[in-house]
Amino acid sequence: SRSVGLARPTARKNIKDADARIAAATKWIAIADAADPAAPVPAAERDDFRRWATSMQRGDAQVPLDYAVADWMLEAAKAAVRSFAHDLQKARLISPTIYDVLAPHFQGDSAWGIQYSQLLGHAPSSQQARETDDPTVCLLNLASDAGLGWMFGDVGEASFWISPEALADKDFSKAWATLEGH
């Protein structure tokens, strides 16, 4: 199986202070995990975190943050918006500026246009759309959706199909799935 994230052997080979960075990241994950997500972060802790996050630069970077760290911050912000969406009081804890900055990530748009999930019907495909006269039934087509944190392939779809005969027999054991990306 393939390891996701920063693997220590790779980090040690390419990053001089990899062990210290991994230890610091582990510390911040533990602090965040133990905290009430709706509670204010103490100013000193917030300052320490900012100092640590902005120290994560590649040696050749001409930008304030390493791209990976910037992506992590973006994903964390989107996760906060998603996790507070069900609770108006918690949702109000997030600055309107954050909602404005993140809006494009929650609007279903991509380089390939608006993408949407659907039940039944003729499903769009990023690779090989079925012919319009193909009798195969699309039960469910899930499109990549940054707002939900879903990514199938490279901004593609996860689709669930069934033959008309299996559907008429209500035999969903004969359904199958496809995963496609751009």
DSSP 8-state class, residue 95: -
Give the HSE-up count for residue 4: Cα atoms under 13 Å, Cβ half-sphere.
0
Among the listed ranges 8-12, 42-46, 137-141, which one has the minimum average pLDDT value?
8-12
Phi-psi region of 143 (alpha: psi -120 to 50; beta: other; left: phi over 0): beta
The identity of residue 49, as a single letter, is: F
Q: Classify the phi-psi angles of 51: left when phi > 0, otherwise alpha if psi is within -120 to 50, otherwise beta.
A: alpha
Name, in order, each residue with C-beta under 8 angstroms of 139's C-beta and a sequence gap of 6 or more.
119, 120, 160, 161, 162, 175
Percent of the residues in the chain that have a pLDDT greater than 70, as a whole number: 81
Comparing C-alpha atoms, which of 115, 171, 122 is closest to residue 142? Answer: 115
- How far from chain centre, in Å, is Cα 60? 27
Confidence category of residue 28, pLDDT binned at 50, 70, 90: confident
Distance CA 123, CA 140 (A): 8
Report yes or no: 58 and 18 within 8 Å, Cβ to Cβ.
no
pTM: 0.54
The region of weakest confidence among 14-18, 36-40, 109-113 is: 109-113
Give me the pLDDT at residue 30, please: 87
Encode pLDDT of 106-162 as tens digits.
Answer: 776 666 666 777 888 777 777 777 677 888 888 998 888 777 777 777 777 888 999
- Does pLDDT of 163 surpass 70? yes
Of 8-17, 38-47, 51-60, 64-73, the range with the highest mean pLDDT is: 38-47
Q: Where are the domains of the chain?
A: 35-106, 109-180
pLDDT at 181: 78
Q: What is the pLDDT of residue 3?
A: 38
